[in-house]
Amino acid sequence: EVQLVESGGGLVQPGGSLRLSCAASGLTFSSYVINWVRQAPGKGLEWVSALSGSGVGTYYADSVKGRFTISRDNSKNTLYLQMNTLRAEDTAVYYCAKSTPRALGVIFWGQGTLVTVSS
């Protein structure tokens, strides 16, 4: 059974940093593109970033480019999202999401971790 478990969310001040983790099990982790998708309170879904299975191909939404860095440790079956220079508009639940085989959408979602940016 596939599991994606996010952690690392919390309350952070504007301008601060936070690192999210996504621990995966039940899949050959290095074979899949994994994404971060976020959802602001009461709002819709927004794609944030994606990383290829090898860790070479990285992709970012314009809204986070230059501030967020996605990475992975395939030996630990874990995906990370380093978030710097956080803004109030980054407040959201962040979901870890396994891509479809062609990496064109999500086939499986984690439960999410809440990030709140506020003073």
Partner 1 sequence: NFMLTQPHSVSESPGKTVTISCTRSSGSVVSSYVQWYQQRPGSSPTTVIYEDNQRPSGVPDRFSGSIDSSSNSASLTISGLKTEDEADYYCQSYDSTFWVFGGGTKLTVL
Q: Give least dist CB 14 to partner 1, A.
A: 25
| Of 8-16, 22-30, 56-64, 81-89: span binding partner 1 (CB under 8 A) | 56-64
The yes or no reply on residue 107 touching partner 1 (CB under 8 A) is: yes
Taking the mean position of all CA atoms in its chain, how far away is CA 36?
A: 3
Out of 52, 74, 91, 108, the only residue in the binding site for partner 1 (CB under 8 A) is 108
Q: Do residues 63 and 83 lie in contact, with contact meaning Cβ atoms separated by under 8 Å?
A: no
The yes or no reply on residue 56 touching partner 1 (CB under 8 A) is: no
| Of 74 and 109, CB closest to partner 1 | 109
The yes or no reply on residue 40 touching partner 1 (CB under 8 A) is: no
Q: Give least dist CB 15 to partner 1, A.
A: 26
Q: Give least dist CB 16 to partner 1, A.
A: 25
Q: Do residues 112 and 7 lie in contact, with contact meaning Cβ atoms separated by under 8 Å?
A: no
* CA atoms of 73 and 50, how far apart (whole Å): 14
Out of 44, 66, 75, 119, the only residue in the binding site for partner 1 (CB under 8 A) is 44
Please name which of 96, 94, 72, 77 lies closest in space to residue 26, comparing C-alpha atoms.
77
Taking the mean position of all CA atoms in its chain, how far away is CA 68?
A: 10
Tokens of 113: 């971790």
Say which residue the tokens 């710097």 belong to: 84
Count of residues that interact with partner 1, criterion CB under 8 A: 21
